[in-house]
Structures are given as structure tokens and as C-alpha cells.
Structure 1
């Protein structure tokens, strides 16, 4: 999922994926123009903290990630009602290779799981 620092940036991205949205806790509906105006107003009146960010799902739903993990979905797409939205941000582990034996190791590991070499 793409991450954004402002609701307006997230709304612009979501607008390329969907044309109609509804607020997550009500049936209030928004077209792209209304969503962009609402996002710009929200950013100017109540900006998010620097550690928080917005996410946009593949279908265009917009969520707020306040702690880097949990996602509160704010705007859902009207057209993709069956989209399975996660409640937490899934981070994918990057893979690198051990410089001693060449085995694959998970980024952030302290030691190679195959030969035991200390990793940088």
C-alpha cells in the first residue's frame, strides 16, 4: 500500500483508482471533487502528527495509520465493497545475502541462519 503524509496526497492517489467513496462510519458519499475538497480542508484544519501517515488500498480506500501499524479506514470505495482491508500495515521483509556463505538472510537479522556469521 502506498503511504502519504497528507490526506490530500492520499485522496489524489485514491481518485485515480475510484470515482466514488463513502465515509467508513456512515453512508455519507463523496465523489472525487468532494473528497479532494474535504481532504484539503482536513489537512489545513487538523494536520496529522509527523509519525503518522495515510495509506491507500489497491482499490482506492483511504486509511490513517497513527502508530505505524494499526490502520483506521476513513474512506471506503463504493465500487469495491468486497475489498478485504487489513487492520494493520503489513510490511514485507527484504531479503539480502550473507557475505560469507551466500545464503539468503532477512534484513535486520544479526547473524546468518546458515553459517552464523555476524551480519552488518
Structure 2
């Protein structure tokens, strides 16, 4: 799980992992990379997070906000891995994330192949 100080940084990274997201609180609105980046920039300008808060991006590109250093509020859900098991807290996230033995990329739990290099996972 990667950490970022701004929503725009998180969105830029997530856009390298996926190309479509749904807003967590509205299953009808779909965001492509361009729309996500514009929304992230506006969010940073209008509602910057406090210094104790940060954004996290899951291995599939789902974006969440962590305001207390522990609980994660998932905001933009990756449409690339709709069945991703998202952790509710940072401590459970650190136990849940797996890494590719070949390239070191984070892999989605249950994935059979690494999205970064294509290595078969066991």
C-alpha cells in the first residue's frame, strides 16, 4: 500500500495501476483517468488534508483517505479489481499486502499473476 500527501499524487499513481474507478458513495458515477485527476486536483485545492492525514493506494489502484493514521476511508474504488478485499485499517493492510517475488510490486490478494511483470504467483 502506497502513501501520498495529496489526492493528486495518489490519483497519478493509481492511474498507473488502473483506468477506471467508481466513487465509493455513488455506484453510478464512473471516473476515467482524466476525470479522476481533475477531481483530485480540485479536492486538494478546495479541501486539503491536515498534516496528520494522508492518502493510500491499494495494489489495484483503489484510493483511500487515512485521517487518524489507522482507519481507511475508501473513496475511489478500482474497477480493475472489483472483488479486492480492502483493509479497514492500516495495521490490517500491512498484514494483507503481498509482493511479487520477481519484481517486488504489490499484488492483489488472490491474484494468480503479477500485474507488474506477469510472473505466475503461488
Fold-level similarity (TM above 0.5): yes
Name the count of aligned residue pairs: 93
Aligned counterpart, 2:3:
3
What residue in structure 1 maps to residue 24 of structure 2? 24
Over the aligned positions, Cα root-mean-square deviation in angstroms equals 1.4
Question: Cα distance, 1:79 vs. partner?
Answer: 2.0
Q: Distance in 1 between matches of 2:75 and 2:26?
A: 10
For structure 1, the residue ranges without an aligned partner over 5 or more in a row are: 94-120
- CA 1:33 to 1:69, structure 2 compared with 1: closer, same or farther past 3 Å? same
Rounded to whole Å, the distance in 1 between the matches of 2:80 and 2:42 is 25
Q: Flag structure 2 segments of 5+ consecutive residues without an equivalent.
A: 96-122
Give 1:11 shift: 0.1
Work out the CA distance in 2 between the residues paired with 1:14 and 1:83.
15
SS at match of 2:60: coil
Distance 1:66 1:40 in 2: 19
With the length of structure 2 as denominator, give the TM-score of the two structures: 0.73
Are the structure 2 counterparts of residues 92 and 33 from structure 1 closer, same or farther at C-alpha, using a change threshold of 3 Å?
Answer: closer
More helix by share: 2
SS in 1 for 2:74: strand
- Per the alignment, residue 55 of structure 1 pairs with 56
Which structure would you say has the larger Rg? 1
Q: State the 1:92 CA deviation.
A: 5.3
1:70-105 Cα deviation digits (max 9, x unpaired): 000000011211100000002759xxxxxxxxxxxx
Query: Taking structure 1 as reference, are residues 92 and 34 closer, same or farther at Cα in structure 2, changes over 3 Å only?
Result: closer
1:106 alignment partner in structure 2: none
